[in-house]
Amino acid sequence: MEWPDRARFVSGFRRRGAYVLSGAPRAGEPVIDRSAFEIAPWAIVERSLRLDRLATSESVFALSNGHIGLRGNLDEGEPHREPGSYLNGFFEALPLPYAEPGYGYPEEGQTLLNVTNGKLVRLLVDDEPFDVRYGTLERHKRVLDLRDGVLRRDVMWTSPAGQAVRVRSTRLVSFVQRAIAAVCYEVEAIGAPARIVVQSSVVANEPTIVHGEDDPRSAAALRGALVCEYHTARDSEVAMGHRARVSGLRMAAALDHVIDGPEGTVSSAESETDLARVTVSTELAPGRTLRVVKLLAYGWSAERSMPALRDQVDAALSAARRTGWDGLLAAQRAYLDTVWEHADVEIDGDPELQQAMRFAIFQIVQAAARAENRAIPAKGLTGRGYDGHTFWDMDTYTLPVLTYTTPDAARDALRWRHSTLPLARARAAQLHLRGACFPWRTIRGEECSGYWPAGTAAFHVNADIADAVRRYVSATGDTAFERDVGVEMLVETARLWASLGHHDAEGGFRIDGVTGPDEYTALCDNNTFTNLMAARNLRSAASAAERHPERAAALGVDGEEIAKWREAAGAIVVPFDTELGVTAQCDGFTRFRRWRFEDTPPDAYPLLLHFPYYLLYSSQVVKQADLVLALFLCGEEMTLEQKRRDFEHYEAITVRDSTLSASIQGVVAAEVGHLELAYEYFRETALVDLRDIAGNTADGLHLAALSGAWLVAVAGFGGMRDQGDVLAFAPRLVAPMTRLAFHLLMRGRCIRVDITPHDARYELRSGDPIELEHHGERFTLEHDASRLMPCPVREQVPTVAPPAGREPFRRGAGADAHRRVGRG
């Protein structure tokens, strides 16, 4: 077999714009070494400013509440890589052209817009603009405080003319007042008097990065996308309203200020089409400080008028003024204190992993806390990677974390999915299917993937959503949600599977021509993950319909349909290779050609950028956990020994060209006894952004991978499984970890699990007694009581390795030891 000319292929691939859709990293971007951020248990600390890492730090230091997202740009706005300010769900529409269009191809895409930027604070010192590229930056420190929920900055700068100033700022996006962000900006004169001017601005239509240099669709959509409908300035207040040129969505932004300076301080306000600002001018004696507190309100709507939006942001500002800066800070800390009480994961023995774990949880909370019936994008609101789209990542990776730590946020995300049911039904009808077909990638609910084999043929997204519904109801006991929302979602996804699959001559229920999680094996028959998840979907729908007969009847469900669902689930086809003794990822997979890993150089990954799809689709090479994901989510279908054989077989052919993979491989590696490997995968997924392991953190954080860190901790080393009638645990640890502790919320109870290498202590912090399972032994945990259970002696298993050159990111690895991964 001759390998294609990779250089020629990748050049053409990028010209066609597929590079943009893949989300793969650009070659040559640096990984971050351990010196970039100081290791601290509750903060991300940057003590020096590296302009070559500015793009990555903008993502790492981003603040969000799930409704508003502000990238961690410097306060002055420049230099920057992307001046990101985002509103969840606010997008521009763009065409999806095809060289050869086909029936059912989506005709329109959606891309997250950089909205009006209200975080800008420009500073002039004796008429010299404060710009870190000029003069002398004597000191620079930024701290993302994971307990207070703020970004702090402390800078000492000497202007080119020799005037020194100290600049301190604190930025927050409020978890409590959803529409509000705020900045406290302080300037102190050092050594000599200084004339100081602070300009607090809100700016629209800033130039922004187009992801994919040759993609004319994105460039056109982002150029002047916001059309001004009003602007106003008065005293210390300014406001602007815009609509997206094509999608027609409307938004408003308003600023107000509290100014504290020496006598003689003056201010003025002005506005025009795409700029509104308040200018504060004063003279500072040495040691004196000018303090400007900037309150920023955002609102948007697809339906309300601009006057209504204007009233909304004015009202939000009024409430924020009443609360005041100190009140906003106190409320932010109080909110996070409550979150950390039942979401913290404690790790002894690896301080860097502890920091990364808390960073991951914080980012999950930021992405979802106040999304409130909006989607959770794959990047959260930290960047425009993947055009701000939501994928199945949300339901399979992020919602399990939220379900057991912040269940209200999980419920809201599922309610958003439910709100898109009319669009999902229409899409299923377009594909000549029954029920609902949820989109592979979207912002508002329409399918935005223009590539059929590795995108919209991945029907498993429907079962992923159904499983998220099942898990949420099981974990919360929210029967009202199940009746009003869950039953309909389960029924419509079950109807999809009943029409998509068919019974073969042997009576098996087959689902053919689909793409599973492994996008390197497309349009296959009987993908094991898809089939097992579909079977669970069918059973869950049948049970929910029987629990809520009136609701089911209103949806047209009868006993015959329920019986057909159960029959299909019971007859689902799971391909198995009897010769190898392993479960096949899909029909015939174990008979595909073997990939020549020994002939694949390190710079040829991700493979999709260097080899044609026909070669990937016909080879035994796995982009990301697929069959292994089935071992985790549907593990009750297999014995431990079978799972071990399957894991070891697929570990040797999985290249992890996606950040979605390491966490799942880590979970299953821990379960089947490969604890050292699991620990390495734990670190890879947890440090994916703090160390920029994928080389593309600049485009936004990898929310699914960060969620995966929680999964490895709780489901991997904690061994938590929620598929049975009780919550089960099978904890196990490996050095250097000496202790792992976490909390779970379960039906109004707060459970704490504290694990050492030898035992696990279960404690019921609140709520009624609950039955749990520890390594197969059931016990009842009483309120305000704990139970110490021994962990079994570890079974020794032969070591297993990934393909050559695709080893996990190892502890202590420097900038020369990273490996590239793709989307996720």
Question: What residues form the annotated binding site for substrate?
Answer: 392-393, 623-624
**Helix 407-419 with 421-430: angle, nearest 10 deg:** 50
The Cα 821–Cα 654 span in angstroms is: 12
Cα atoms in the 13 Å half-sphere on the side-chain side of 793: 1
Nearest residue to 276 via CA among 318, 311, 312, 232: 232
Binding-site sequence positions:
392-393, 623-624
The CA-based angle 380-386-392, given to 5 degrees, is 70
DSSP per residue, 306-370: HHHHHHHHHHHHHHHHHHHHHHHHHHHHHHHHHHHHHH-EEEES-HHHHHHHHHHHHHHHHHHTT
**Residue tagged 């975080």 (tokens):** 119
In sequence order, the β-bridge partners of residue 203 are 117, 275
- Tokens representing 612 are 């044609």
Q: Say whether the peptide bond before residue 790 is cis (omega within 30 degrees of 0).
A: no
Alpha-carbon span 306 to 300, nearest angstrom: 9
Exactly one of 519, 648, 680, 684 is catalytic; which is it? 519
**What residues does 154 pair with on adjacent strands?**
141, 168
3-class secondary structure, 246: coil
Beta strands in 73-179 (DSSP E): 85-87, 91-95, 108-112, 121-125, 128-129, 136-145, 150-158, 164-173
Q: Taking a C-beta distance cutoff of 8 angstroms, is the pair 712, 667 a contact?
A: yes
As a whole number of angstroms, the longest Cα–Cα distance in the chain is 90
Give yes or no: 519 in active site: yes
Other residues' Cβ atoms within 10 Å of the Cβ of residue 166: 17
DSSP code of residue 675: H
Tell how strand 770-774 and strand 727-729 pair up.
Answer: parallel
C-alpha span between 242 and 115 (Å, rounded): 9
CA gap 469, 466 in Å, rounded: 5
Looking up tokens 């003590």 gives: 47
Cβ atoms within 10 Å, residue 197: 17
DSSP state of 385: G
Distances from the Cα of 660 to the Cα of 90, 152, 391, 480, 603, angstroms: 26, 31, 12, 33, 20
Positions marked active-site: 519
